[in-house]
Amino acid sequence: MRILVTGGAGFLGSHLCERLLSEGHEVICLDNLFTGRKRNIAHLLENPYFEFVRHDVIDSFKFEVDQIYNLACPASPPHYQYNAIKTIKTSVMGAINCLGLAKRVRARVFQASTSEVYGDPLVHPQPESYWGHVNPIGARSCYDEGKRCAETLFFDYHRQNGVDIRIVRIFNTYGPRMLPNDGRVVSNFIVQALKGEDITVYGDGSQTRSFCYYSDLIEGFIRLMNKDEVIGPINIGNPGEFTMLELAQEVLGLVDSKSKIVHLDLPSDDPKQRQPDISEAKAKLGWEPTVSLREGLKETIDYFRNEIQL
């Protein structure tokens, strides 16, 4: 097939492009390089089945494709809060442009949504049936509400125009090609530990997250996209739940770092807990994660050792 990946030069997008090429597809990678990096896809540029197009999803685009994966949007708080209006436009206009293209060329279209649609959840773990507990006017709302609106648009295009949609809700994901300065907790802790800097834990460190290695996540993407009778939304993430203190101590042990853990004020609207209920993914896709946190962290630490100047 010919497949369009928006945000294809990003952390997850570049891994997805690689996977699709390995399966024999032709891949068009569209990215404006705000958080994506050309070096993530440099090794693919000589592949005759790969094409890179520098373009912003906010502006319309036309391609003849069979499938569209919409991954375009900054996904870490410092990056999506840098220009909040641009972030929400990326989610909303990007979804409209992808859906409009899918409608015209009758392509199947995939939305990379997020566990942030659940906000600071009152239900734990979070099933897909939970509507969420989200602040619509907070510092994180540009991302949370942008992704919620994108899901609305996907279902409205599906109901009104018969567009063939798929929606995944991504829980915390990590691995090689994360940006060292993206502000996500895994990259923060690893970079700080490698540099011997203080490990900054927000609040008392009791808040929890669930961490999924990128390769498990991409496998979930592919399974949903190629399953005819399931449209989602489907939670894709690792149900193993860890406190921020547990994660910090695991990173310190693996790096063998002398860094100290220090506590800072908790950011506004920071969820206290986050854990996916993946029973739908298990039942409908036969999917569950296979890479343990320790195994994934080792691979990610090795990547960052080569990336940052120690």
| d(C-alpha 185, C-alpha 77), whole Å | 10
Residue for token pair 């949007």: 73
Residues 6+ apart with CB under 8 A from 4: 27, 28, 30, 63, 65, 67, 68, 69, 101, 107
Local confidence pLDDT in tens for the 310 residues of the chain? 999 999 999 999 999 999 999 999 999 999 999 999 999 999 999 999 999 999 999 999 999 999 999 999 988 777 788 899 999 999 999 999 999 999 999 999 999 999 999 998 899 899 999 999 999 998 889 999 999 999 999 999 999 999 999 999 999 999 999 998 888 899 999 999 999 999 999 888 888 888 999 999 999 999 999 999 999 999 999 999 899 999 999 999 999 988 999 998 877 656 677 789 999 999 999 999 999 999 999 999 999 998 886 5
First to last CA, the chain: 43
Q: Is 189 helix (H, G, I), strand (E, B) or coil?
A: helix
Predicted pLDDT of residue 269? 58
Which residues are catalytically annotated? 143
Residue 51, number of CB atoms within 10 A of its CB: 17
Residues 6+ apart with CB under 8 A from 129: none
pTM: 0.92
Cis peptide before 136 (omega within 30 of 0): no
The DSSP bridge partners found for residue 242 are 209
- What confidence score (pLDDT) does residue 74 get? 86
CA–CA gap between residue 94 and residue 73 (Å, rounded): 9
In order of their start, the domains of the chain are 2-173+213-236 (3.40.50.720), 175-209+240-274+291-307 (3.90.25.10)
pLDDT at res. 293: 94
Distance (Å) of CA 114 to CA 83, 206, 274, 280: 19, 22, 11, 16
Look-up of token digits 């492009």: 17
Question: For residue 228, what are its two tokens?
Answer: 């005819």
| Residue 268 to residue 215: CA distance in whole angstroms | 31
**Beta strand extents in the chain (DSSP E only):** 2-6, 26-31, 50-54, 67-70, 108-114, 165-170, 173-174, 199-202, 208-210, 212-213, 234-236, 241-243, 261-264
Question: Residue 221 burial by CB count (10 A; 0-12/13-18/19+): exposed, middle or buried?
Answer: buried
173 sits in the region (left: phi over 0; alpha: psi -120 to 50; else beta) called beta
Residue tagged 């972030």 (tokens):
87
Peptide bond into 125 cis (omega under 30): yes
* Cα–Cα separations (whole angstroms), residue 72 to 10, 48, 62, 147, 150: 8, 23, 16, 11, 12
CA distance 236 to 141: 22
Burial of 286 (0-12, 13-18, 19+ CB in 10 A): exposed
Rounded Cα gap, residues 223 and 131, in angstroms: 24
